[in-house]
Chains A and B, each alone.
Chain A
Amino acid sequence: MASFKSQRRFAYRLLAGLLTLGPLADAQQQPAGFAVERLYQSAPGAGWFVMDDLNITGRLGGAIELTSGYARNPLVITGPDGKQKLAVVKEEAFFNIGAAITYDRFRGYINFPMPLLLSGASGTLAPYQFIAPSVSLGTNPDTISDPRIGVDVRLLGEPGTLLRLGAGAQLYFPSGSRADYVSDARYRAMFRFLAAGDAGAYTYAGQLGVHVRPLNDAPVPGSPNGSEFLYGISGGRKFAGPPGWVVIAGPEIFGETAFHSFFSGETGTEALITGRLEQTNAGRNLRIKLGVGHALQQNFGAAQWRIVFGVELFGHAGSH
């Protein structure tokens, strides 16, 4: 028993250390860059762009998704005087391919984000000299930036009911260059509590989570401050489409804030107006998604505005 307690204490300390690595950061004259993308997409087949509809059911099933997006000014840094601004990452475009396998209430998935464009303006905001990324398909013809694997589980409620609860975990593998602002060059993990439900023509989803992010460049303006809280909520209305199709439209609001700067205004929040057209057949279904959004609070990759487009094939073999 003593040994078990000792192990548990060690585990708690390790977790606490991971979550509060902030003070260890060093000041850098030339920031090294980090994974600027803050559109932490939900799993392939999860319905929303960021939230999860938790409609996981049936025998063996799955989803394939292709998402592409463009973000404007995802990283604009304000100088010490509060006036000078530098758009270190002015434009960002990506391409993301993912696949999921579902069985009963479980989902396993994998995503491969690929940068198409990152560019911005280099400059000095004393005492830091920022070097803008210069990424295109020509310079980075085969880059996969921080691929992830994840698992989700529907814990409570059935598809189509008023309340469903679930949980998910993701692991990000470092890949790509920090200088390109596509990677932290460190492993990252996310743990999320998920909720979703349907009430007649209305549907909603939400999440609360933790982003375990060892990278902490806290002294550098506009840089990661270590591990973060994640939050988000979405709601929409279903409209009848052509036979066998449904249209769902509604907003998604999501964001993150660093643990140790929770009250210091270092929070990024975005709102996406989303619409999706999806088939409702028993077999393979198609889903087409479009989202247009604007930052409610522009920080750390919460883009000034962005547009996201997605196509998914999803379905399952039948009821379990």
Chain B
Amino acid sequence: MPFWPLIPAFVLRTCERQQSAASPGRNRAHRLTKANFVRPIALARFAAPLMAGFLLVSSLACAQDGAPGPRPSDQFSFMQLLADKGLHDMENESWNAYGQFTYISSWKSSFSAPYTNLNGSINSLLPTAERSFTGTATLYLGLRLWNGGEAYLVPELISERPLSQLRGLGGAIQNFELQKGGTSTPQIYRSRLFFKQTVGLGGKSLVEESGPLQLATHYDSRRLVFVAGNFSVLDFFDTNAFDVDPRLGFLGLGFLTYAAYDFASDARGYSYGGIAEFHWDDWAVRAGRITPPKQPNQLPVDFRLFKYYGDQMEAEHKHTIRGQDGMARVLVFRNHENMGRFSDAIAAFQADPAENATTCTTFNYGSQNAGAPDLCWARKPNVKKGIGGFAEQTIGRGIGIFGRAMYADGKTEVYAYTSDDRSAAVGVLANGTAWSRPGDDAGIGTNIGWISNVHARYLGMGGVDGFVGDGAITAAAEESFDLFYNANFGKIYWLSGDYQHIAHPGFNAARGPVNIFTVRIHGEF
């Protein structure tokens, strides 16, 4: 049974908006403060019908920022400690250093499935009970090089064990920290190394607060920003849902950004490339070209940026409705990558059944289904396109609702993010000030993903893509519901409890539903 109509029954109260981490596009004027968190009961009365209406009529979807948000001054941090001792200027920083660690442990209960990995296909979510975890530790180092010029380096450590080897789910993957190819042996890697230059064009003077991936400074509301190097696309595009640090927000991957946004990135989710932003008061436009992986969902990067690339453009507008801040964005992307079209894979198999999943001579996912087509026989330079919209709105002093949706063409395989061809998500975020727990956060939301008809036909014939493929399919939307509460302790640690209910895992109505319970421990310094 679809669970999303039940969501309006939940009324959450407050939400603290934080600034964008990596881009000065979200300014202080657009931020909620704790002083706003009052009258929770009246707020709840207002929020419930609004949320219900929103969920029933809106197809927009939502997500969180790919980058961390700024650190409030009342929260412990190494930089604040130095500033308190008069050793650091928190208003105009020449450097900063922040860190975080997060441990996420998920438990999936067993579920019913009439078949699993049918006929040698390999991408089913296993129906047995499983445990998954991720552990990450990150250092965020920033340095001001000259006026307007900043450089950032972010080394990170990850250890992980996914459910079913990260197979069997589309955009409903339960933990956004999971990386393709990760192992339980800790790996240290460089997640970001980029340069940012801001050119002021006048307008109002705005404040950028100190935080991970942002040096405290003042900047013009009208400006140009150029970024080059190694980063996550989500540091700059589709940063949203009140810029809550994802490690403090929803755990589901479908809430990180549009699940159908197959942004070019390596297996860890990072890319090389360049981005340009133009900000004009409440308006912003950004465009970027970034590197894809050499093979779908793998780590090696293809630097031939004129041959294979991911292009994206986003327009953004901030607004106020009855004195409440909001934002709307539209994003389009166009990837040109060496990827397979589902129709070509099917045609190749039908023309010659010897060209099946077990006879691949080029990169493939290792399916043992000899009666299935495979994308390995169809890879060539192809284009994937998509368009999406996002909106977020505070609906009273502290509660924030958000929604996002994307439509991609669905003709080609997943190359970097999730198997969704279309996605939609909505949610509510609230801060705990209203119940005298100002460091706490809570959220409730739903994420729905669809695949195209030709994608479903390919999976139905036993084919697999980077994540899904049970060997057969009763095609349906993959739906996930996510509810979390995040409790703060000692201004350094957060303990979260999260519940996710996933219907039709892998877009297959014949399997599931799946229940996943998660605990998260997060610390910042």
Listed in ascending order, the chain A residues whose CB lies under 8 Å from chain B are: 59-60, 62, 64, 97, 99, 110, 112, 114, 137-144, 147, 173, 175, 284, 313, 317
Contacts and interface: CB of A to CB of B under 8 A. Distances in A.
Contacts of A284: 94
Nearest to A61: B87
Nearest to A112: B155
Interface string B84-100: 00010000001101000
B188 A138 contact: no
Contacts of B266: 141-142
Given A99-B141, A137-B301, A144-B189, A60 B268 contact: no
B301 A141 contact: yes
B37 interface: no
Given A60-B87, A144-B155, A284-B94, A138 B303 contact: yes
B494 interface: no
Contact of B303 (A62, A112, A137): A137
Contacts of A64: 95, 143
A141 B188 contact: no
A142 B190 contact: yes
Contact of A142 (B87, B94, B143, B230): B230
Kindly name the residue among B141, B191, B270 whose own CB sees the greatest number of chain A CB atoms within 10 A.
Answer: B141
A141 to B, nearest CB: 4
Chain A interface main SS type: loop
Nearest to A146: B188
B149 to A, nearest CB: 13
Contacts of B153: 97, 112
A137 B270 CA distance: 14
A112 B230 CA distance: 15
6 contacts: A64-B143, A141-B266, A141-B299, A142-B191, A142-B299, A173-B188
Nearest to B88: A60
A82 B13 CA distance: 78
Interface string B183-206: 000011111010000000000000
Given A60-B82, A60-B87, A64-B143, A138 B189 contact: no
A141 B272 contact: yes
B397 interface: no
B300 interface: yes
B95 A175 contact: no
A58 to B, nearest CB: 11
Q: Which 3 A-B residue pairings sit nearest by Cβ, starting from the closest? A: A175-B188, A141-B301, A142-B189
A144 B302 contact: no
Contacts of A147: 155, 188
B26 interface: no
B190 A112 contact: yes
Nearest to A60: B87
Contacts of B87: 59-60, 317
Nearest to B268: A142
B270 A142 contact: yes
A33 B266 CA distance: 26
Contacts of B299: 141-142
A156 B200 CA distance: 49
A124 to B, nearest CB: 28
Interface string B71-110: 0000000000010000100000011010000000000000
A147 B302 CA distance: 26
Given A60-B82, A112-B153, A141-B272, A175 B300 contact: no
Nearest to B153: A97
A53 B35 CA distance: 52
